[in-house]
Amino acid sequence: MIIGLTGGIATGKSTVSSLLHHKGALIIDADVIAREVMLPGHPVLAEVVKHFGQAILLPDGQLNRKMLGEIIFNQPGEREKLNQITHPAIRQEMWDRMHFQSKECPSCLIVVDIPLLYESGLQTMFEQVLVVYTPRSVQLQRLMERNQLTLEEAESRLHAQMDIEEKKQLANLIIDNSGTLSETGHQVDQLWQDLRLL
């Protein structure tokens, strides 16, 4: 079975992904793939450099993420252009890995971790979508503590994503990560058993 895993910023998606991995799930992480396509020698990075110029590279040929981030943060049109270059390649790689893993291990649970799954309209790729949920107030608190942000800064980051309540409504499966790690672990144990019966 292949399921999509998503959540919101600071809801604890990585925690749940890690717990599922320890249970034996095969994890495909969209963020890891996104970093891989920006490594020196990858055709996607070459295409990005062609558009944005050599200035976005460090002397060793690595991507200067800070420089690229400043460009796309201040210019939505440029952010869209970056997405047009990178997203098709990231999706294709995810698709290829999903199908490779499901052929290699038909009985395995394959979890594809995609932060902006709903925002990107990718829910139809999966049999089920699991949302890692915490109420917005918990999200804000965790984000401020984790990233040393002011309330205003944290709120602006949350506004950039689909509301977590909306994601919760759309989900087939939900892990509520607003309690302790142990409570989340129990929910993952139960989910693992439930998915094994499907």
Predicted pLDDT at 149: 86
User: Given the structure tokens 């990005």, which residue do they identify?
Assistant: 48
Give residue-wise pLDDT tens across range 69-112.
Answer: 888 877 888 988 999 999 999 999 999 999 999 999 999 999 99
Task: Show Cβ contacts of residue 137 under 8 Å, excluding neighbours closer than 6 positions.
Answer: none
Give the residue ranges of the annotated binding site: 10-15
Phi then psi for 131, rounded to 5 degrees? -105, 130
Answering whether pTM is above 0.85, one says yes
Query: With 90 as the cut, is the pLDDT of residue 11 above it?
Result: yes
Confidence of residue 198 (pLDDT cuts 50, 70, 90): low
Task: Show Cβ contacts of residue 166 under 8 Å, excluding neighbours closer than 6 positions.
Answer: 118
Give the residue ranges of the annotated binding site for ATP: 10-15
- Of 12, 55, 6, nearest to 183 by C-alpha is 12
Give residue-wise pLDDT tens across range 113-163.
Answer: 998 899 889 999 999 999 999 999 999 999 899 988 888 888 888 887 899
* All domains of the chain in start order, with CATH: 1-25+109-198 (3.40.50.300), 34-96 (no CATH)
Compute how many other C-beta atoms are within 10 angstroms of the C-beta atom of residue 14: 15
Give residue-wise pLDDT tens across range 14-30.
Answer: 999 999 999 999 999 99
Phi then psi for 119, rounded to 5 degrees? -60, -30
Confidence of residue 197 (pLDDT cuts 50, 70, 90): low
